[in-house]
Structure 1
Amino acid sequence: LQILESSQIDMDDPEKKEMFEKGTHFNPVDLVCAVRDYKGHKFDLVKYVDKATGFISYKSKNGKDLKALELPGLWNGAMSDWNTVFVEVPLSTFNPVKTVNDLLREQHQ
């Protein structure tokens, strides 16, 4: 199981596009990560990185289109061979902060 960015999915492949369009969940924002094992020893998180994982994404800045090579972040490739448990939580817990203005919302007071 791996979290995928939409840019990692071949939308020209009808089967993959259909799977994407029928998806019911998206990249979680609330993450809980245990950085120590049950005995209190630190996990060596570097050994879980899949260095062969990466993808091209398309972004824009100041009206200019850009192509970016993105290396895997936590849980979308950087945590290869890591045990992950997904827990569905109420939508009310979803309070992302994308801009500084989001911090003014009631949920962040």
Structure 2
Amino acid sequence: MEPIFLVNGHDYTRYLAEDGLKPSRNDVDAEGSGRNLLDALMYRTRIATKQKWTVSFNRLSAETLSQLERDMEPVFVRVTLLDAKENRHVERSYYTSTINEGVQRYIGGETVYDGVTFNLTER
């Protein structure tokens, strides 16, 4: 199954860098989890796991980046990605706090952005 990156009904898959989707799993621990100060033994109660994605793009036109920024503007956004564990396309709610807009260039009479990156964290 092929990777996909859909946000707000817009398909940005073709703009992704070759290594543009990097998934990872984050554990959410209960309060009180941590190391015992006497023997450094780890105690933890995992209450959930959440996905985190590092997303990076090749060159984007000013129009494409503008649309992507508008799609990512709400506090929580619905994003469809290929879930590694389920091996299928899954839509989930994510948030992001920082979008690195990369390098702004003016090429052939057009403004473009190289290397746009951001992290998505599952709600």
TM class, shorter-length? under 0.3
Higher relative contact order (CA 8 A, sep 6+): 2
TM-score by length of 2: 0.23
If each structure's strand is expressed as a fraction of its own residues, which one has the higher value?
A: 2
Q: TM-score, normalised by structure 1?
A: 0.25
